[in-house]
Amino acid sequence: MAHQKSILVTGGAGFLGSHLCDRLIAQGHEVICLDNFFTGNKRNIEHLIGNPRFEFIRHDVTFPLYLEVEEIYNLACPASPVNYQHDPVQTTKTSVHGAINMLGLAKRLRCRIFQASTSEVYGDPSVHPQTEGYWGNVNPIGPRSCYDEGKRCAETLFFDYHRQHNIEIKVARIFNTYGPRMHPNDGRVVSNFVVQALKGDPITIYGEGKQTRSFCYVDDLIEGFVRLMNSPSDVTGPINLGNPGEFTIKELAELAIEMTGSKSKLTYVALPQDDPQQRQPDISLAKKTLGWEPNIPLREGLARTIRYFDKLLSEKD
């Protein structure tokens, strides 16, 4: 078995963070999970409470933190438009102050640190598919800017700490990810469509539904995280992690209806400001550097996600 490490996961009670905690615990590591429950949920980690290798700390990353760990995964930040636009100033603070605090901790401990960045750094891309060399097309003053620019600034900080202080960094740009433990009301397209279909509600499509997205199942993504963190020290990223399979929003809605056996009808509303028309990762770098690519097809991942939401909704009834 590999060396047992003590690992800090910020945002560890969130959708991705909780799956990462599961994976690290299963590998035999000791995990400190940090979350302030702004968007994270106790339910996501309750099965780990009581595990001797798991510790939970309620803390906001915008305030400094003093711990002894060997690795840091920085995932703390609301990641859905509903949540990050609810308190845009706090969203920017979480990305920027959070990065400064975690990088400061990594500098003090001389430990490796992972940043969960996002495909939103590409904005509404004029290059398709998006490669890591593309600098993006981002509105700096729009309603999504708190998240997009916050994450862009965090990447800047990571690379400056790397150059100035020789900190070992790993930066992943995450594309649309879905799976169990997504919040049912987080406004993300997979959870929206699945919950609406299960309830028999009309399925809301923004614009004509011709905009495209690529959907990566959470287990595939977490595998990419771990491979990147454990890659040689000269592999810093940024590196795209996502599923290059491209689907229109309308195709996803129709698939959700079919797989849930729902009688929901499609309903069309105006497209939100700065909503990207295309989003598809070029994952050549991840394949070459990490030997990573997703292997769970959309239907299989959706089936698991539907089962999760079906159980969640039946518990609420």
Average pLDDT for runs of 10 along the chain of length 317: 88 97 98 94 96 97 96 89 79 96 98 97 90 94 93 98 98 96 86 95 91 93 98 97 93 96 93 75 97 96 97 84
The pLDDT assigned to 184 comes to 85
CA 61 to CA 38: how far, in whole Å? Answer: 11
> Which listed residue (73, 84, 122, 147) is catalytic?
147
Domains in the chain, start-ordered, CATH in brackets? 6-179+216-243+280-295 (3.40.50.720)
CA nearest neighbour of 32 among 20, 15, 47: 20
The residue to which tokens 């940024």 are assigned: 238
Helix axes 189-199, 298-316, angle to 10 degrees: 60
Residue 147 appears among annotated catalytic residues: yes
Residues 6+ apart with CB under 8 A from 35: 10, 11, 12, 13, 14, 17, 56, 58, 59, 76
**Cα–Cα dist 105/195, whole Å:** 40
CA pseudo-torsion sign 39, 43, 48, 54: positive
Residue 276 has what pLDDT?
72
d(CA 94, CA 64) in angstroms, rounded, equals 12
What is the predicted pLDDT for the residue at 2? 63
Does 129 sit behind a cis peptide bond, omega within 30 degrees of 0 on the bond before it?
yes
Q: d(Cα 125, Cα 186) in Å, to the nearest integer? A: 24
User: What 8-state DSSP symbol labels residue 312?
Assistant: H
Q: What is the pLDDT of residue 188?
A: 84
With contact defined as beta carbons under 8 Å apart, do 241 and 281 qualify? yes
